[in-house]
Structure 1
């Protein structure tokens, strides 16, 4: 008797979602090829929060222990006024007991390295490969690349981010939705910021702007600033540090210290955008995953987590021999959850970027009045979720 030929998947995009998908499928016995349009695998110099739901999904992929070893646990998390007064402290310790794991903050480059190591057995990641089309038949799908190369597969998965070429090819162009604010991000080693926030972090809220800082471990901190601004007006690299120091002059001292301690050339700047949810992610033997399927604003820290969850569910659904039916089951299982988080992320953004002093006063009073139990119940459906 001949051996059964392994089914073949092509993953477009080598970000968090794409790499987790490749690993998840490999663990299910698939042959996997990963294609990335960038010339090299280099993650931007920033951090990512992995809440309990993300950590449990990584445990299923066999990577949770490595992430815990490299990342920093979130032991405490405070919400403060712009000048440092405590509004409330989030119940990180209670949540860790409730969910059986702490949340972790890890440098994106470190996470990417762990994921790449995890899929080594699945085959190399091919860079500088721009996907342009997929030709489908009852027997399979052919992925076509800009350099003229083609590859046959049983399924093509678009994990190529918010500006997904696969999404556009399947469902046409759709405009991004601007949030109303830009974000600047950086990583630094700073004694004052580290000592003030060892094992956790804070968000300081001011009129139309906020600043978040989290410990990355080993004396490093990751920070972000979100500032209300017209779309498309990002400060150039050489002006970012001075603009941040101007915007946050007089703020809580670890805010200013973190900016001052960051190498100016490494500060990243982005318009913060998402897209309206779409009614379908799949067409035949092709589907979307992560930001390609459901890009969300970063206010709940769930973009990466939802991509990891997608990867686990997609690989499980693809155990079914009928691939179009499997993809339909995957999006049916995932869509309501991710769409809810897209909506909640936008709502959270409006609340934390308020400019009106009266509304800010009311928001801060409301946050200060929230009991641990009420906070936990509000976010339990998101971070208390265990993907199967």
Structure 2
């Protein structure tokens, strides 16, 4: 019964930093190696500095070095088959209503806008494309004009209004789900543990669920850190796997991996009033650590 409040990721990070303090946050300190000795994790930074801790939480994303340590190998990412452009643009009724989430779909492509703070839309474009094409910001606008030629006037205005220098272009990948989230005193959360496509909007959400349950498990770790990590793993790995596979399935429908299935979905959308979309969003929420 509550309305959503979309927020840009960068602003969410700033709010968290303001709430919990900046003094213990050190940017540009990439870890390049780690090892364990007698329940202590030792790690080396790219600039040669070394440090150690009783517990290392690997929230280091889809290219995670901590995942390689936990699994004993660097698993390959799987290209999902499409490229995503995203960013922020000034909200305008000429592009989309300013108080709703608006999405345009056709030909396995997608354009979406949702309101965020300060009179802006978060936007993204999805286009099924081969992996490895040139990434040149100077051609973003002309590329999008070509990919969305003939689409409605709102999409054309959006393309003209974006700031290409502040627009991101991402080749979308995920990683085959796995169930091992820790080794010794090293534990994975977020994309390091379950790298997913953004098709059901659960990447950041699952990372926050990880953080909440890991904190709870550590707060009551009367049997030690590894027992807490084991309980965290058993609570989170199956749910995270389900979300990765659910996002992959939605990705395939949205981006026309099977044209008959996608066309059937388009036909359903013509009659959709929003109830099924809300049910889908709610089904992603059910099973989280706050239930």
Would you call these one fold, judging by a TM-score over 0.5? yes
Matched, 1:182 2:83: yes
Inter-CA distance 378–270: structure 2 relative to 1 (3 Å threshold) = closer
Matched, 1:337 2:239: yes
Matched, 1:120 2:21: yes
Instruction: Give the conservation status (yes or no) of the 8 Å contact 2:39–2:184.
Output: no
- Between the two proteins, the alignment pairs up a number of residues equal to 287
Of 144, 147, 161 in structure 1, the residue corresponding to residue 47 of structure 2 is: 147
Inter-CA distance 380–106: structure 2 relative to 1 (3 Å threshold) = closer
Q: Distance in 2 between matches of 1:166 and 1:310?
A: 16
Larger mean Cα displacement after TM superposition, 281-290 or 363-372: 363-372
Inter-CA distance 311–368: structure 2 relative to 1 (3 Å threshold) = same
Instruction: Give the conservation status (yes or no) of the 8 Å contact 1:143–1:156.
Output: no
Query: Deviation per CA, 1:99-126, whole angstroms, max 9, x where unpaired?
Result: xx322211222111101112217x4211
Q: CA deviation at 1:214?
A: 1.1
Of 59, 69, 72 in structure 2, the residue corresponding to residue 159 of structure 1 is: 59
Inter-CA distance 105–379: structure 2 relative to 1 (3 Å threshold) = closer
Q: Distance in 2 between matches of 1:139 and 1:106?
A: 39
TM-score after normalising by structure 1: 0.69
Equivalent position SS for 1:132:
strand
Q: Distance in 2 between matches of 1:372 and 1:214?
A: 15
Matched, 1:365 2:271: no
CA RMSD of aligned residues (A): 2.1
Q: CA deviation at 1:376?
A: 4.5
Matched, 1:271 2:171: yes
Residue in 2 aligned with 1:173?
A: 74
Q: CA deviation at 1:140?
A: 2.4
Instruction: Give the conservation status (yes or no) of the 8 Å contact 1:234–1:270.
Output: no
Q: CA deviation at 1:353?
A: 1.0
Q: CA deviation at 1:216?
A: 1.6
Equivalent position SS for 1:148:
coil
Alignment of 1:31-50 (within 5 A): none
Q: Where in structure 1 are there 5+ consecutive unaligned residues? A: 1-96
Q: CA deviation at 1:141?
A: 2.0
Inter-CA distance 257–377: structure 2 relative to 1 (3 Å threshold) = closer
Instruction: Give the conservation status (yes or no) of the 8 Å contact 2:178–2:237.
Output: no
Q: CA deviation at 1:296?
A: 0.4
Q: Distance in 2 between matches of 1:177 and 1:144?
A: 29
Query: Deviation per CA, 1:41-86, whole angstroms, max 9, x where unpaired?
Result: xxxxxxxxxxxxxxxxxxxxxxxxxxxxxxxxxxxxxxxxxxxxxx
Residue in 1 aligned with 2:253?
A: 351
Query: Deviation per CA, 1:107-153, whole angstroms, max 9, x where unpaired?
Result: 222111101112217x4211221212333234422232232322231
Instruction: Give the conservation status (yes or no) of the 8 Å contact 2:189–2:210.
Output: yes
Alignment of 1:146-295 (within 5 A): 146-171=46-71, 172-193=73-94, 196-295=96-195
Q: Distance in 2 between matches of 1:373 and 1:236?
A: 40
Q: CA deviation at 1:351?
A: 0.7
TM-score after normalising by structure 2: 0.90
Q: Distance in 2 between matches of 1:366 and 1:310?
A: 34
Inter-CA distance 226–155: structure 2 relative to 1 (3 Å threshold) = same
Q: CA deviation at 1:236?
A: 1.1
Q: CA deviation at 1:371?
A: 7.3
Inter-CA distance 209–164: structure 2 relative to 1 (3 Å threshold) = same
Q: Distance in 2 between matches of 1:165 and 1:229?
A: 28
